[in-house]
Structure 1
Amino acid sequence: MIKRNDSERYILSLDNGGTYIKAALYTEKGRQLAVSKCRNHLVMPQPNYAEYDQDELWNANCNSIKDLICTAGIDPSEIAVIGISGQGGGFYAIDDKGESVRNAIASSDRRALSIINEWKSLGIGDALYNKIFRFLLSGHLSAILAWLKQNEPENYSRIYRLFSMKDYLIYRLTGECVAGYDCLSVSGLMDLNTLHFDADIADKLGISEAANKFGRLVWSTDICGYVSEEAAKRCGCLAGTPVAAGLHDVNASALAMGATTEEHPFIITGTHAINGYVTDQPVLNRIIKNNELFAYKGKFLIEEGYPASSATLDWVLSILFDRNDDPQSRYVEVDAMVESVPDETELPFFFPFLRGHRDDPTARGAWSNLGPEDTKATMLKAVYEGVVFSHMIQIEYLFDGRERPSVFRIAGGATSSAAWIHMFADALGATVEIIPTKEMGTKGVAIASSVACGIYDSIETAIQVMEDGVTRIEPDFEKHALYQKRYARFKELVQRT
């Protein structure tokens, strides 16, 4: 049972990641009181396919809310607001009866690669760049819709409303159809000059029917609905509880890190390797892959990312140890193995591209340069290093033609590993600032939701009150010199494959 004062109100946050669904309860001051966590079950019916059962996704969120309220021992009437984050890309849809059209298609899905290649050959992506501010990718809603139109025309014709992941969950929670600006700016269907879905964009992509399939547009600081009677019974919360518009999970983590300006570039280690910074203007140099709308009006997230980060360790541990438990619970053991390998050891290389890399979505993961002297320890150290190097490749693109930062803020799975974080600092040759918040996504949702429900009058005020301090890790420049040689070789091998 949580000890509280009579006037305290709580913020309930949900973060739907590619690997886990997390629910957390926060005070108005940003203190985390309780957390509930479960696996987000990804369905992979064939290679390059990645899906979620929409009903199962909803049920998992309901159970997380119910478990959280039970664990915290609070009365549901004490919850001031509920907020949700989720992946920006992918496909989530209902028909005119409110039923799922088909399984959701995750942002990591690659079935639409042929569509992307066709658009590229026709110059369609180049023609649209100055409207959508990004390169078209197979995990974008636009490409998935084009694939469905070609390959599942019956399902395509049934689409009544389109959502991002978190907007679908808001629909289930409230019955309201909304479209979050930040998530849908990733869709490849929004003109980021006008901040509206553009019929001309949809027409050029051959999916003109899609332009009018979205709900009303909302920012993360808006209240977009209230918990319905049906959802309240399912989740164990109170009907009528305000529901905030939520965020793209990347933006949520950036808020939790206080990374709302160019002065605080960030690294997020999770299912995706995400690197970025927030600025007042988009960067339209056609080198950076992604510009998207940030959590609130007037800001852009400048981002490089693909699915090759710390969640790769899940797969590695299942292969090397035949274990499928949460890798965070094993970081002490894994770190000890990694740190037992001397720095001067000639390691194998690990390429964490289980679902492709930045310039080749068909790339596959591998260990390279293995020898009979290698052990689980050297293979694990190569995994840590390969993930760090995959982030570094993106950082080079991100700061092309710009001054390289000397400080990065970092969040995600790798922050649970002291060895991994020190490797990031040493390899980058930069100071790394760790935010002590365990659940960055839910914390960022709480910050935005606190503004939506009127606890604070701005994001800046909410961050000032709710943010945690930072722990700074300084680089070892002798190790940096060693990593620079390894990194140059890593890039050479990636470019060859």
Structure 2
Amino acid sequence: MKYFLGLDCGGTFIKAILIDTEGKIVGIEKNNISTISNNAGYAERNMNEFWDACSNLIKNIINNFNIDTRLILGIGISAQGKGTYLLDKDFNPLGNAILSSDQRANNIVNKWKKKGLDKLVYPFTKQNIWSGHPVSILKWIKDNDRDRYDKIEYILMTHDYLRFCLTGSLFCEVTNISESNLYNINTNEYDKYLSELFDIPEIFSKLSPIIKSNEVSGYITEYASEKTGLAVGIPVIAGLFDIVSAAFCCHLENEKVLSGILGTWNIISGVSESIKHSNSGLSQGAYIENKVIIHDDSPTSMANLEWFRKMYGDIDYEEINKMIESLPICSSNIIFIPFLYGSNYKNNIQGGIYGIQFNHSKEHLFQAIYEGVFFSFKYHLERMKEIFKNVNTLRISGGVTYSKVGLKMLADITGMKIEVLNIDEIGCYGIAIFTMKSLGFDINNIIKNIENKKVTIHPNYNNNKIYKNKYKSYLRTLEQLSYI
């Protein structure tokens, strides 16, 4: 039996999956990766510890499933976007990595927006400006830690750094770096003008060469072999931005189908043959085979429910679902704003619960939390419909797929057909089958098998009418809060 190894690096976990040449999952492992937050709004990662977590994860999956690593034909990595991993001239980590969830550069971003810089750069980058972008982080370092800034020799993102650790090769993978605000999506290359606009022209020469997602970036070195147990010489492909990996796995065959991920983030993605005009400032980046991925997202999803669940003493999800199922839809006027980890509305509104009364129970509260998360998802969906005007299907992945009650509510709120893919760790699985394809293997039967196993949920249009009224109340609440 031959294998492919996929690695997926998120904000909380790093995961590994082994599949065989028929796409069958042989094994899955995951390790927690800690986030360092020594100051309010900071989100950092010790780069050496991150590499150790990755190498130990690979060791675990090899040992736990008794794999002869000489039979692993290829390795691919998908990872969260944005953030920065910096190296000095000796290829050593230059302090901690700063993650995409870091907010220290908020003031810089606000100043840029007041000057209209966001509108100036969008035609070149098709990216909004926010604190987790490399440009924002690098500007903050320049202004606040000049000694560190002057020592920067190589600028990488998450999977670029792990590939470097595995292969010794320095590249920036295109689907990730295309969303950095340093990449001109019209010319498909770095743009020095952008670095000058963001007042960080010094870093332009520090950007590593761009590599296509399906290209081999290098091979497992002796050093990486000793750390991981992998055989020397296994090819490592460039990999994918995790949103792209999930979209690839969802097989978005046309513009009538969108991918929706509801985990820590609400993420909606679609694939287009070309760059689109967007009044909403939707993010557009490189996809596969010269296509464009278009997406809208925010950290306003199921992590909000997880926070409340723990506040109630780790109440069981099954019990939460039963509570919600026991109530009629929209049984209260409670409006939950799911912005505990960030906002998707103007002026960075904070999270909150509005309209709660003494007669409300925890059942009403949890129902409102589900509604708020899905209303936030619907807000992104309405923005995406600006471009994907004929969309009629959502292919859903993430934590919500374990809740039949949640999926039914999502279908009713969006008014769209929901397709649930029966895949564990979709980002991991997506990069594994993409690695197969990149190395010349036919994956058509695997894609067909995924399609055949999907579960379809249709909306109840009477319920949809009721949810539309509450969604209007949700939007009115956001609008009023934006003035506070």
Q: Indicate the TM-score class for this superposition, using the shorter chain for normalisation.
A: over 0.9
CA distance in 2, matches of 1:148, 1:196: 24
The 5-angstrom pairing of residues 36-185 of structure 1 reads: 36-185=29-178
Aligned to 2:318: 332
SS of corresponding position for 2:348: coil
Q: Counterpart of 2:408?
A: 422
**SS of 1:89's equivalent?**
coil
Q: CA deviation at 1:464?
A: 4.8
> CA–CA distance in 2 between the matches of 1:319 and 1:474?
33
2:423 alignment counterpart: 437
TM-score, normalised relative to structure 1: 0.92
Pair 218,260 (structure 1): closer, same or farther in 2 beyond 3 Å? farther
Matched, 1:398 2:391: no
Cα shift at 1:361: 6.3
Query: Take 1:109 and 1:446, find their aligned partners in 2: how far apart are those partners?
Result: 29
Name the % identity. 31
What is the Cα deviation at residue 344 of structure 1? 4.9
For 1:344 and 1:272, how far apart are their aligned partners in 2?
A: 24
Distance in 2 (alpha carbons) for counterparts of 1:387 and 1:74: 41
Q: 1:26 to 1:72 in 2, by over 3 A?
A: same
CA contact under 8 A between 1:31 and 1:466: conserved in structure 2? no
Q: Residues 422 and 450 of structure 2 are in contact (CA less than 8 Å); yes or no, is this contact kept in structure 1?
A: no
Summarize deviations over 1:123-149 as a string: whole Å, max 9, x none: 222222221112222111111111111
Map 1:12-411 → 2, pairs under 5 A: 12-294=5-287, 296-321=288-313, 330-360=316-346, 362-400=348-386, 403-411=389-397
How far 1:27 sits from its partner (Å)? Answer: 1.4
Cα deviations by residue, 1:450-484 (Å, 9 ceiling, x for unpaired): 1222223xx87874577663210011122212211
- 5+ residue gaps, structure 2, are none
Gaps of 5+ in 1: 1-7, 324-329
Residue 41 of structure 1 deviates from its aligned partner by 1.6
Q: Tell me the amino acid that sits aligned with residue 383 of structure 1.
A: I
Q: Is the 8 A contact 1:265 1:408 kept in 2?
A: yes
CA shift, 1:40, in A, is 2.6
CA distance in 2, matches of 1:260, 1:162: 34
8 Å CA contact 2:133, 2:180 repeated in 1:
yes
Matching residue's letter, 2:57:
S
Contact in 2 for aligned 1:29/1:466 (Cα 8 Å)? no
How many residue pairs get aligned? The number is: 481
Change (3 A) 1:463 1:164: farther
Offset at residue 334 of structure 1 (A): 2.5
Q: RMSD value over aligned CA atoms?
A: 1.9
SS of residue paired to 1:125: helix
Q: Distance in 1 between matches of 2:435 and 2:60?
A: 21
2: CA distance, partners of 1:303 / 1:351? 21
Question: Does the 8 Å CA contact 1:19/1:271 hold for their aligned counterparts?
Answer: no
Residues 1:49 and 1:435: Cα distance change in structure 2 (over 3 Å): same
Q: Could you say if the C-alpha distance between residues 349 and 466 of structure 1 is closer, same or farther in structure 2, counting changes exceeding 3 Å?
A: closer
The Cα shift of 1:192 comes to 0.9
| CA–CA distance in structure 1, aligned partners of residues 192 and 227 of structure 2 | 38
Q: Which amino acid aligns with 1:479?
A: N
CA apart distance, 1:263: 2.7
Contact 1:10 1:79 in 2 (8 A): yes
**TM norm structure 2:** 0.95
